[in-house]
Amino acid sequence: MEISIIGLGLMGGSLGLGLKKSSTPYKISGYDLNSEHSIMAMQLGLVDEIVSLTDALTKEVVILATPVDICIKILSEFAPVSASQTVIDLGSTKEKISNAVKSEIRESFVAAHPMTGTEYSGPTAAKEELYKNSTVVLCDLEKSGKRQADIAKKIFTDLGMKIIEMDSATHDLHAAYISHLPHIISYSLAATVLSKENPQDILSMAAGGFRDMSRLAKSRPDLWTQIFRQNKQNLLESVKLFEKNLSELRSCIENEEWESLEEKLEKAKELHLIFK
């Protein structure tokens, strides 16, 4: 199967590595707007060849591993494709991307969100095992052709992923709470500490808790600004609810309601019972 990956950073590069190690024979082409990324992708063995964007868009399977705004631009301008072609995007938001696809190519398109990643970016961040044992959400599959849906499922299965299906609006709501809200909190935490603490003091005193919570603030600001914009309403609702819960904890501390505070902290621990 001939696959082209457009965008050879963390997600696209890791996908190339993972598929090259799978038992299915894939021929993987790559394209990246950044020519240095293309060179690095070849040097690191992320793809078998580098092609032009025009050639990349003609392959049997086209995977869009670009920032969400670029993904929408490509999809809105995509030329008619053959009935046998499959186009898959890996964007962190789904509803606006799904709605951007032209009606004449909609059956060839599959909206996917692999629930994995790191705070790093670029070809050198690619990891062969990034997708393994993670979940991928496939959205609005009723709008995709059966052949295209089956091909997408085959690819993600070869990567060792668990597949779940839902509509794009529901996906974006859930993603706001479990992905986008943690990122904006991490950025806020980092900015708060930087505004009050000397960077050298942070380095000398920061323990695992702070490092864990601020890790996501190392993610690309330009990419996450696009994600926040595309999922604006859901994100604002999640931030509002977070502020409400934070305010309740603050009130307990201000009013020395220690028993109530302990009850709230104990209740929050229940989340991690889900992950056992």
Q: Single out the residue in 166, 194, 210 at which a domain terminates.
A: 166
Give the chain's domain count: 2
Residue 193 — very low, low, confident or very high, per pLDDT cuts 50/70/90? confident
Judgement on whether residues 136 and 248 belong to the same structural domain of the protein: no
Judgement on whether residues 48 and 147 belong to the same structural domain of the protein: yes
Task: Give pLDDT, residue 276.
Answer: 64
Task: Give pLDDT, residue 258.
Answer: 96
∠ Cα 73 220 203 (to 5°): 175
Judgement on whether residues 75 and 185 belong to the same structural domain of the protein: no
Q: Which residue has the higher pLDDT, 80 or 131?
A: 131
Judgement on whether residues 175 and 152 belong to the same structural domain of the protein: no
Question: Above pLDDT 90, what percent of the chain?
Answer: 80
Task: Give pLDDT, residue 127.
Answer: 96
Judgement on whether residues 103 and 214 belong to the same structural domain of the protein: no
Q: Which domain holds residue 214?
A: 171-274
Q: Can you give the CATH number for the domain in which 7 is found? A: 3.40.50.720
Task: Give pLDDT, residue 116.
Answer: 94
Question: Above pLDDT 70, what percent of the chain?
Answer: 99
Strand partners for 49:
29
Using the predicted structure, report yes or no on whether residue 204 has a pLDDT greater than 90. no
Task: Give pLDDT, residue 133.
Answer: 96
Judgement on whether residues 161 and 184 belong to the same structural domain of the protein: no
Judgement on whether residues 64 and 197 belong to the same structural domain of the protein: no
Distance CA(45)–CA(3), nearest Å, equals 15
The answer for residues whose C-beta is within 8 angstroms of residue 153's C-beta and 6 or more apart is 138, 163
Q: Can you give the CATH number for the domain in which 255 is found? A: 1.10.3660.10
Residue 58, token pair as written in the block? 């003609």
Q: Single out the residue in 124, 148, 166 at which a domain terminates.
A: 166
Judgement on whether residues 117 and 83 belong to the same structural domain of the protein: yes
Element (H, E) at 60: none
Q: Single out the residue in 141, 166, 191 at which a domain terminates.
A: 166
Short-list 83, 84, 82, 65, CA closest to 74? 65
The answer for residues whose C-beta is within 8 angstroms of residue 183's C-beta and 6 or more apart is 216, 219, 224, 227
Judgement on whether residues 143 and 248 belong to the same structural domain of the protein: no
Q: What are phi and psi of 255, to 5 degrees?
A: -95, 5
